[in-house]
């Protein structure tokens, strides 16, 4: 089995304002995910503190992204 994933300590991050919802104060944590051939992928997870305006804005932003039609590009192939 590969090397275990490494977690970096959570940090505060003031993200840039999203045009659709405004400013977001987010906590994030980054994980290194070892893959084959000595490649490592970085997975970053963002969360908002429960009960804050940032949580409401993040939920709204997620719902807007989920309901927006996917853009089709000429290189897209049906699966």
Q: Is the pLDDT of residue 8 over 60?
A: no
CB atoms within 10 A of CB 75: 5
Q: What is the pLDDT of residues 34-56, one digit of tens each?
A: 887 878 888 888 889 999 999 99
Q: What is the pTM of this model?
A: 0.60
Separation of alpha carbons 57 and 13, rounded Å:
15
Q: Is the pLDDT of residue 26 over 50?
A: yes
| Whether the Cβ atoms of residue 42 and residue 30 lie closer than 8 Å to each other | yes
Buried b or exposed e, range 3-42, using 16+ CB within 10 angstroms: eeeeeeeeeeeeeeeeeebeebbbeeeeeeeeeeeeeeee
């Amino acid at each position: 089995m590969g090397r275990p994933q490494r977690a970096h300590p959570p940090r505060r991050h003031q993200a840039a304002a999203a045009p659709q919802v405004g400013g977001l104060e987010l906590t994030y944590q980054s994980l290194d995910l070892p893959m084959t051939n000595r490649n490592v992928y970085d997975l970053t997870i963002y969360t908002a503190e429960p009960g804050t305006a940032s949580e409401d804005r993040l939920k709204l932003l997620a719902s807007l992204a989920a309901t927006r039609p996917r853009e089709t590009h000429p290189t897209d192939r049906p699966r």
